[in-house]
């Protein structure tokens, strides 16, 4: 009986291999080929797993060592550009994932701290080694920049100029990370910044790094923000808001923004309006996260705000992620004992697959500037 079961599985895997090899060939990716972006398969169960579980199965197969790929970023960009994922049929687990997202508010206040605990509290030592000296964990702006540090400073300054910051202004930052923007804006533009984050590690280190500056970082959900501010900014929180809460986010901005104020949202965006994130990232990297589309952002901001400027520099995230990956690889010998080899494969897949997604233009990076109706139009300088 056992022999028969293995025979059936072997036949299924063989058929799956034919199907998947054909799909990958359409994306110019070969199995056991000689090019860096070709896949080297170590376990024949890989084929059935990917056809059954789609992108979740692909990520988990890599974590489990069922295949390797030297240039994983290139392979992912080719697969996404060829829309291979759309040709793999959905299964019941994926359908249930969609139904769960529609039935529940996965980004409710009760669930808001999960992403902080699972991702941002992994350890400041990891992020200090992977990121730039300012610890900016969002897309850099590479126009004229020669390295990651310069690209991140250029991005922070770009945000400050779009917001037309002036000395003495009070700024609210929803999703403040380690306080990189808050520290930069306080130092360079003389403003006071109050930031909110769901990560305990970020608050503790961010306050140390901002010592002596008019910066306050609070461990609280963005919905708890109070007070009136001249400017409101979010750099990388909209991905954690969830489609059921986009409107409530802008209600917070409306509640806290002065009559003549400006607001800016910096976010990864999807090309399509969606209600679920890619499953592997939901399970292993950013629980309950969701990429908003421009249409969803525009609809949620209707009424209180006018959209003054939309700036898409998604290709800059490809270069940012590859810089993070290079830093991570260089630091891995000193990180290995704490995190282990399975974490290495998970993190490598996260960084390189993300870079491939931006390279294929599967994802975008938007900066959107908002003002209240009746206010003079800001310059929204981007150079």
- What are the tens digits of pLDDT across the range 117-169? 555 555 688 999 999 999 999 999 999 999 999 999 999 999 999 999 999 99
Among 56, 89, 122, residue at a domain's last position: 89
Q: Structurally, how many domains does the chain consist of? A: 2
What pLDDT does 100 receive? Answer: 42
The whole-angstrom separation of Cα 210 and Cα 19 is: 55
What pLDDT does 170 receive? Answer: 98
Residue-number span of the structural domain to which 181 is assigned: 114-372
63, 199: one domain: no
pLDDT digits (tens, 9 = 90+) for 152-165: 999 999 999 999 99
What pLDDT does 8 receive? Answer: 44
Residue 39 three-state SS: strand
The whole-angstrom separation of Cα 47 and Cα 20 is: 6
What pLDDT does 95 receive? Answer: 40
Task: Indicate whether 383 belongs to any domain.
Answer: no
The whole-angstrom separation of Cα 273 and Cα 275 is: 7
136, 243: one domain: yes
47, 151: one domain: no
35, 152: one domain: no
Tens-binned pLDDT, residue by residue, of the chain (383 aa): 444 444 445 777 788 888 889 999 999 999 999 999 999 999 998 998 888 888 899 999 999 999 999 999 999 999 999 988 776 654 444 444 333 434 444 444 554 444 445 555 556 889 999 999 999 999 999 999 999 999 999 999 999 999 999 999 999 999 999 999 999 999 999 999 999 998 888 999 999 999 999 999 999 999 999 999 999 999 999 998 988 899 999 999 999 999 999 999 999 999 999 887 788 998 899 888 899 999 999 999 999 999 999 999 999 999 999 999 999 999 999 999 999 999 999 999 999 999 999 999 999 999 999 999 878 888 765 55
The whole-angstrom separation of Cα 245 and Cα 242 is: 5
54, 152: one domain: no
Task: Indicate whether 126 belongs to any domain.
Answer: yes
198, 118: one domain: yes
Task: Give the domain CATH number at 323.
Answer: 3.40.50.150
Task: Indicate whether 103 belongs to any domain.
Answer: no
What pLDDT does 377 receive? Answer: 86
274, 309: one domain: yes
State the CB neighbour count (10 A cutoff) for residue 73: 25
147, 216: one domain: yes
Among 30, 54, 89, residue at a domain's last position: 89
What pLDDT does 256 receive? Answer: 98
Task: Indicate whether 52 belongs to any domain.
Answer: yes
Task: Indicate whether 107 belongs to any domain.
Answer: no
Task: Indicate whether 17 belongs to any domain.
Answer: yes
What pLDDT does 344 receive? Answer: 97
177, 289: one domain: yes
303, 208: one domain: yes
Task: Indicate whether 239 belongs to any domain.
Answer: yes
Task: Indicate whether 381 belongs to any domain.
Answer: no
DSSP state of 86: G
8, 83: one domain: yes
The whole-angstrom separation of Cα 299 and Cα 310 is: 14
Token duo for residue 215 = 């910066």
Token duo for residue 33 = 């080929």
41, 166: one domain: no
What pLDDT does 10 receive? Answer: 72
């Amino acid at each position: 009986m056992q022999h028969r079961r293995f025979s059936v599985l072997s036949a299924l895997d063989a058929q799956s291999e034919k199907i998947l090899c054909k799909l990958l060939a359409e994306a110019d990716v070969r199995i056991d080929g000689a090019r860096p972006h070709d896949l080297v398969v170590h376990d024949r169960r890989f084929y059935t797993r990917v056809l059954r579980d789609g992108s979740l199965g692909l990520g988990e197969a890599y974590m489990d060592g069922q295949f390797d790929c030297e240039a994983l970023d290139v392979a992912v960009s080719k697969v996404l550009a060829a829309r291979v994922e759309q040709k793999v049929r959905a299964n019941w687990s994926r359908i249930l994932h969609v139904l769960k997202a529609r039935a529940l508010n996965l980004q409710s206040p009760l669930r808001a701290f999960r992403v902080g605990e699972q991702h941002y509290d992994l350890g400041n030592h990891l992020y200090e080694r992977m990121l730039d000296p300012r610890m900016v964990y969002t897309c850099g702006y590479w126009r004229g920049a020669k390295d990651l540090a310069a690209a991140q400073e250029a991005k922070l300054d770009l945000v400050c100029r779009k917001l037309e910051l002036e000395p003495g202004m009070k700024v609210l930052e929803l999703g403040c990370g380690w306080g990189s923007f808050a520290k930069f804006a306080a130092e360079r533009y003389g403003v006071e910044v109050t930031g909110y984050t769901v990560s305990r590690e970020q608050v503790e280190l961010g306050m140390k790094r901002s010592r002596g500056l008019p910066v306050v970082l609070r461990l609280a959900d963005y919905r708890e923000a109070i007070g009136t501010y001249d400017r409101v900014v979010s750099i990388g929180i909209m991905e954690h808001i969830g489609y059921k809460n986009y409107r409530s986010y802008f209600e917070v901005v409306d509640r806290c923004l002065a009559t003549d104020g400006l607001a800016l949202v910096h976010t990864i965006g999807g090309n399509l309006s969606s209600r679920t994130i890619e499953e592997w990232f939901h399970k292993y990297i950013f629980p309950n996260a969701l990429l908003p589309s421009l249409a969803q952002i525009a609809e949620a901001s209707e009424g209180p705000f006018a959209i003054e400027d939309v700036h898409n520099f998604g290709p800059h995230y490809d270069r940012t992620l590859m810089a993070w990956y290079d830093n991570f690889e260089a630091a891995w010998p000193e990180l290995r004992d704490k995190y282990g080899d399975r974490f290495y494969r998970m993190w490598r897949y996260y960084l390189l697959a993300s870079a491939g997604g931006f390279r294929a233009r599967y994802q975008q990076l938007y900066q959107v500037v908002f003002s209240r109706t009746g206010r003079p139009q800001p310059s929204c300088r981007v150079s």
